[in-house]
Amino acid sequence: MLRGLSIRDIVLIDRLDLSFGAGLCVLTGETGAGKSIVLDALGLALGGRADRALVRPGTSQGVVTAAFEPPVDHPLWEALKEQGQEEAASEGQVVLRRILTADGRSRAFVNDEPVSTQFLRRLGHSLIEVHGQNDQHELASGNRQRWLLDAFAGQEALVRRTEAAYGAWQEAAADRARQHALLVAARQEEDYLRHREAELADLAAVPGEEGELAERRQKLMNREKLMGGLAEAQALLVGNGGARERLTTALRRLERQMEPETSLEGAAAALARALVELDEAEAELEAVVREAEDGGDTLDAVEGRLFALRDAARKHRVAADELPALLAKTQALLAGIDHGSEELLAADRLVAEREATYLDLARHLSQGRAQAAERLAQAVMAELAPLKLERTRFKVALLPLEPADIGPAGLERVAFEISTNPGSPFGPLGKIASGGELSRIMLALKVVLAKLGTAPTMIFDEVDAGIGGAVADAVGQRLSRLAEERQILVVTHAPQVAARGGLHLTVAKENLVDGNVRVLVRTLAPAERPAEIARMLAGARITEAALAAANSLLEQTIAPAQPETTTSPKKPLASH
């Protein structure tokens, strides 16, 4: 439950500290006194929208702190453990804090640890349910009505299983549709695929081959230039008119002249040595030529392979290195054509199995709804008569959906319908019920569904708007009954409701000497309550008759469980 609320510098509230207990707490005050400011501040601490207009003018920031003591089995504790706050679970108290600066920035804390606003909102929704005019309109929503019926039937787990089964069915159906589309497309181009597969298989490209061939081609092109140069050198050395022929001729002529002229011996010896050196040079050149000629691939062969790869790549609009992957893909498509019918049959079986699973769960869900619909209608009808809606009939309609419209929520649409007068046809709750009727029907549902949900605290914002007398008294009775199950906070203008509160808070505006206004919230002592109830009965001028009526109301409407009005939170609600 909500144990404490601390507000600092929010709108017209400069400083406020409130303590709460179990049971029914009422918040009263004249119209415009500032009751909504208290709720807005609490909403901020629960993760609501951070509007910088909430910060009190002239201050740098506003702070709201709310302390709770949730039940030991509340799912909030697991959420805190996920955040690494095991210590909080052992202490049994959770403190939510929100800081809002004048420039609109906000920070969120849980037990003084910074958290995201989303996480704060998650915890806030699990701790407090707020019911106002918007919630009454939400009651007219088909989704909300379906959720309420399923919660009343106690089949939330079945709802989740049905949703999961529907998702699995649709996933299988989508996969089957993809397989069918691929098979149809593949069959349309089967001839081309088989031609492409044969061509690529014959080419037998390997990754990286293009780069290797380009490198080898460059080397071979360089070798061709080398061989041309070697051939020219050999021709100059040993060809007709080359160096060997000329050196030999020159040596023979010197030898014929050597007998009469011995001075030529040195020159002849030099020529002989030159011929020997020439032989060695020729041998070296021949060795280089043989090595070059023994290099394996020819330039024509390498270029032929390289150009074939590049032609295939251009033809199929892929990089040359992607040709092996294209071959694998082509073979996979052909295998899919060859085995596609078998795979489609398997996909069909899976779709049928998952559809059957979903339909089985959905039918069980429908049966549970049908059984619960009548019980819920009777329970709500029992609450309507005391709320002066005795001429109203309420029913829960289950409207079957067309096969194309069924979804994760099941096979039917849930609709709360009413008839406001005997003999009048039933119609949708949201279109026939007035705002006042909607609020009372919502209250009747809340009484019936009091044990459902996880939020230990419920807030009703002027649920009694536009009603009075016996109807307001009946509303007060039902709020008291709800307070036996949950902690209930009610903003009310009805004295019949206010008189039933175990804790009574009043809100008023105070004019300050500097011309400013501030909002004050006081916890009324028992002796002060008759005057406030009398004001609600008679207005600004409180008469003896009004006081007598107020005392009579208070005597007749003793709260079933007196809240603890002085309990302070275990942990101080310090302002940050």
Answer yes or no: are the C-beta atoms of 521 and 505 closer than 8 Å: yes
pLDDT, residue 560, reads: 43
- Determine which helix (DSSP H) or strand (DSSP E) holds 107, and give its type and residue range: strand 106-110
Torsion angle, alpha carbons of 312, 314, 319, 322, to 10:
-40
Note the helical H segments in 117-208: 117-127, 133-139, 142-153, 156-188, 190-203
Nearest-angstrom CA–CA distance, 337 and 353: 25
Do residues 459 and 541 both lie within one domain?
Answer: no
Do residues 125 and 192 both lie within one domain?
Answer: no
Do residues 333 and 476 both lie within one domain?
Answer: no
- Per-residue b/e over 192-225, b at no fewer than 16 CB within 10 Å? ebeebbeebeebebeeebbeebeebbeebeeeee
* CA angle, 98 then 100 then 104, to 5°: 140
Note the helical H segments in 46-85: 76-82
Strands (E), 426-546: 427-428, 457-461, 487-491, 503-511, 517-523
Q: Would residue 399 count as lying in a domain?
A: no
Query: Domain count of the chain?
Result: 3
Nearest-angstrom CA–CA distance, 373 and 375: 6
Answer yes or no: are the C-beta atoms of 419 and 434 closer than 8 Å: no
List of residues 6+ apart from 362 with CB closer than 8 A = 162, 165, 166, 406, 410, 411
Q: What is the pLDDT of residues 231-270, one digit of tens each?
A: 777 777 777 777 877 888 887 877 777 766 667 778 888 8
Say which amino acid occupies 140. Answer: A
Strands (E), 334-406: 393-400
Q: Write out the two tokens for 253.
A: 């002529």
Nearest-angstrom CA–CA distance, 325 and 206: 9
Question: Residue 22 belongs to a domain with what CATH number?
Answer: 3.40.50.300
Q: Would residue 374 count as lying in a domain?
A: no
Q: Would residue 379 count as lying in a domain?
A: no
Q: Would residue 356 count as lying in a domain?
A: no
CA 521 vs. chain centroid, Å, equals 40
pLDDT, residue 297, reads: 67
pLDDT, residue 135, reads: 59
Do residues 518 and 535 both lie within one domain?
Answer: no
Do residues 70 and 112 both lie within one domain?
Answer: yes
Do residues 16 and 128 both lie within one domain?
Answer: yes
Do residues 116 and 196 both lie within one domain?
Answer: no
Answer yes or no: are the C-beta atoms of 444 and 147 closer than 8 Å: no
Q: Measured between alpha carbons, how far apart are the two ends of the chain, in Å?
A: 23
Q: How would DSSP label each residue in 507-527?
A: EEEEE-TTS-EEEEEEEPPGG
Note the helical H segments in 209-322: 209-238, 243-257, 265-293, 299-316
Q: Would residue 346 count as lying in a domain?
A: no
Do residues 501 and 536 both lie within one domain?
Answer: no
Say which amino acid occupies 22. Answer: A
Final residue in a domain of this structure, among 341, 374, 403: 341
pLDDT, residue 562, reads: 40
Identify which of 41, 64, 129, 88 has the alpha carbon closest to the alpha carbon of residue 443. Answer: 129
Identify which of 114, 64, 63 has the alpha carbon closest to the alpha carbon of residue 85. Answer: 114
Q: What are phi and psi of 261, to 5 degrees?
A: -130, 95
pTM over 0.85: no
Q: Would residue 376 count as lying in a domain?
A: no
Do residues 187 and 123 both lie within one domain?
Answer: no
Q: Would residue 441 count as lying in a domain?
A: no
pLDDT, residue 335, reads: 81
Do residues 214 and 303 both lie within one domain?
Answer: yes
* DSSP at 14: E
Per DSSP, the three-state class of 489 is strand
Query: Mean pLDDT for each consecutive 10-residue tract of the chain (576 residues)?
Result: 92 89 90 84 90 90 92 84 70 88 91 90 88 64 86 92 96 92 79 88 90 81 71 76 79 75 76 84 76 67 88 91 91 78 86 96 96 93 85 92 94 91 83 73 79 78 72 84 88 89 90 80 90 85 86 73 38 43
What are 523's strand-pairing partners?
Answer: 505
Q: Write out the two tokens for 167.
A: 């998702």
Final residue in a domain of this structure, among 288, 314, 341: 341
Answer yes or no: are the C-beta atoms of 79 and 111 closer than 8 Å: no
Residue 483 sits in which domain range? Answer: 1-132+453-524
Q: Would residue 160 count as lying in a domain?
A: no
CA 229 vs. chain centroid, Å, equals 74
pLDDT, residue 291, reads: 64
Identify which of 502, 517, 485, 477 has the alpha carbon closest to the alpha carbon of residue 566. Answer: 502
Do residues 518 and 545 both lie within one domain?
Answer: no
Q: Write out the two tokens for 444.
A: 């009747």
Final residue in a domain of this structure, among 341, 359, 389: 341
Q: What are phi and psi of 96, to 5 degrees?
A: -100, 135
Say which amino acid occupies 43. Answer: G
Answer yes or no: are the C-beta atoms of 573 and 95 closer than 8 Å: yes
Do residues 2 and 105 both lie within one domain?
Answer: yes
